[in-house]
Amino acid sequence: MKITSIVGTRPNFVKIAPLLRSFKTENDIESTLIHTGQHYDKFMSDVFFEDLRIDKPHVHFNVGSGSHLKVIAKIMVTAEEYFMSSPTDLIVVVGDVNSTLAIALAGNKMGIPIAHVEAGLRSRNWDMPEESNRILTDRLSELLLTPTKEDSRNLIDEGIEEEKIHLVGNIMIDSLFDSLERIGDGSEVLDRYSINGAKYGLITLHRPECVDNKENLKAILDAFNAIQQNVKLIWPLHPRTRKTINEFGLNDYLKEFSNLHVVEPVGYHHFLSLMKNSFMVLTDSGGIQEETTAMEIPCLTLRNETERPITVTEGTNQVVGMDTARIIESVNELLSGKRVKGGIPELWDGKTSGRITKILRSWWQSKM
């Protein structure tokens, strides 16, 4: 069976890595990896590929950045040309980025079956580009591989045939558990920032609703300003966020935060070392909500909703929005000892990639 897997952004690397390693153990699977180049920084891509033990992609589309429509169109046209000359039995897409949707559309139009890893997530916020990406990708896919029972229910409620839906668990946790075994205590990273033994919070922020709106970004920065007066904060600053901070004239304001340390973006293992040893995480990321739940670290999500509600109902996540006072209040509760006690959801056990591989092989055998 020929399987072609697609990545386009760094979160995709984390999700595809354990699956590629699983494919390697199967003699009857011929695996190809395509990088669309939707987000591409040579240094950061190389670091992530090394950290996650991913071989270099067999094919690179080099589409670069651009508007949503331009990126999707470019990937679709390039994918058509590629699959015309290099047929495949199955395309595997992960997550909900533009590359995911573009390849799903191209594969569907060319009659190539699609397997969607991380299917069924729903924020019900149509202002999020990812929401339309994930819903359309699910509609176009023949195999829908879900992280939780709630994600499976979402698909059933939308009228998708149950035989297409497979509860497999969370693929990101495979990468997380594998990497945690290899990074040790992370002391080398902590020493770099002089935070070994210190209580600190970790920040990530990059979503358009948080950083492209000046009012929202200023409200979040105001919260960070208050928080850093009580606890040290470490912030690997996303290029998009750095750009809007400068455009909105907020750079000088940020420099006043003496106990908030802005650092350059870091690799996966480097970031896990920071997260593993943190007191709490403030984020707008989806994947980090899951990773903090798996590591039982308090997470405050700076959004008004989440497509990963299980991290709230069963995990350590709280959705606190972008209101300055509410963010500060939530942090103060954590500082006072009111920690959210969560557990690890069902099938978030580091064995999702094996379950997916078994399902894909069974699907293929049914076609023979």
How far apart, in Å, do the first and last CA atoms of the chain sit? 10
Residue range 151-177: mean pLDDT, rounded: 98
92-143 pLDDT, tens digit each? 999 999 999 999 999 999 999 999 999 999 999 998 999 999 999 999 999 9
Please tell me the total number of residues recorded for the chain in this structure. Answer: 368
Work out the percent of the chain whose per-residue pLDDT is above 70: 99
Phi-psi region of 3 (alpha: psi -120 to 50; beta: other; left: phi over 0): beta
> What pLDDT, in 10s, does the model give residues 276-297?
999 999 999 999 999 999 999 9
- Mean pLDDT is lowest, of 4-8, 73-77, 175-179, 263-267, for 263-267
3-state secondary structure of 97: coil
Rounded-to-10 torsion of CA 41, 44, 46, 48: -130
**Ranges for all domains in the chain classified under CATH 3.40.50.2000:** 2-169+348-367, 179-335
pTM, full prediction: 0.95
206 classed as catalytic: yes
pLDDT score recorded for residue 342: 87
CATH of 179-335 given 3.40.640.10, 3.30.70.520, 1.10.10.10, 3.40.50.2000: 3.40.50.2000
User: Exactly one of 206, 238, 261, 270 is catalytic; which is it?
Assistant: 206
- Asked if the model's pLDDT at residue 74 lies above 90, the reply is yes
What's residue 42's pLDDT? 66
Averaged pLDDT of the chain? 95
Segment 206-247, tens digit of pLDDT? 999 999 999 999 999 999 999 999 999 999 999 999 999 999
Query: At the topology level of CATH, where does 2-169+348-367 sit?
Result: Rossmann fold (3.40.50)
Greatest mean pLDDT among 6-15, 82-91, 332-341 lies in 82-91
Residues 291-304, mean pLDDT to the nearest whole number: 97
